[in-house]
Amino acid sequence: MSFNPEYLLKREFGIIRQTYTEKDCILYALGVGMGQDPLNEDCLRYVYEDGLKVLPSQSVVMAHPGFWAKEEDMGIDWVKVLHAGQEIIFHNPLPTAATVEATTRITEVADKGEKFGALITSDRLIKDVESGKDLCTSVTTILARGNGGYGGNRKSSAPKPYAIPTSEPDEVCDLSTLPQQALIYRLSGDYNPLHASPSVARNAGFNAPILHGLCTFGVMTHALVKTCCDYDSNRFKRMRLRFSAPVYPGETIRTEIWRNGKEIAFRCKSLEQDKIVINNGYLLID
């Protein structure tokens, strides 16, 4: 099927219901690199069932519709898809085990031209089935690099990028990733072969499988929970960011942090590439 933005905006995904357990929370935390130092008791709370906590970034895999860009009716050149941006609005603390449900909907398609691609935004409200409480709203933006230049509206209603201060950061947090990090992270539900298959990665223009953008997002969340919240994940209220470059498994991610009361600006860079990989980050804490 050819790429049709009007079809995407009307496309129904159906309700996704997912039951997750403490084991799933532990697997997710391991997938974003927590537990590398098994003697660090702050990190241990996220990978050990005694007093288990949930990383705020785990919400992105809850009631996830899967890699829908690959489905034939979408008309998307899925090999060239990159995760461009992410926002999460937290309504209530995330349980360590629950049945949740959500419906994904595509809210906007913007034509950024043949050179850059089509910017596609979707969102989903994740609810706890038993309590009926809204847990969080996840807003995802992908860049379909092979689908731009179709003659559509070039403007996007997405919020303007959050400005990063020009001063030196108040704090810096370096966290390493494992060579097999993407192979662990994908077990939480994102099976895009770009992150596992060397041949698919080469066809997409990369030297090797890259880390999931949302895995980099999880590493970044660990840095923010550690540096800004003393490992208290329930203090997160809202965060948004833009992905600016891919990370390869095994690289070290440096999170640079600027504080302004409860509002925090941040960005991340790959030390090995000396390149910004997450930019225009904004975090609101209580």
- Positions annotated as catalytic residues are 190, 195, 210, 213
Report the C-alpha gap between 162 and 151 in whole angstroms.
Answer: 28
Annotate 130-194 with DSSP letters as a single string: TT--EEEEEEEEEEETTS--SS------SPPPPPPPSSPPSEEEEEE--TTHHHHHGGGS---GG
In degrees, rounded to 5, the angle at the alpha carbon of residue 182 between the alpha carbons of residues 177 and 185 is 100
Structure tokens at 171: 């704090």
Residue 220 has a CB neighbour count (10 Å cut-off) of 25
The DSSP element (H or E) to which 104 belongs, if any, is: none
Report the C-alpha gap between 266 and 280 in whole angstroms.
Answer: 7
Sole residue written with tokens 């959050």? 162
C-alpha closest to that of 123 among 18, 224, 13, 215: 13
Residues 6+ apart with CB under 8 A from 116: 143, 145, 148
Report the C-alpha gap between 204 and 201 in whole angstroms.
Answer: 5
Report the C-alpha gap between 125 and 68 in whole angstroms.
Answer: 17
What sign does the dihedral 165-166-169-174 (CA atoms) show?
A: positive
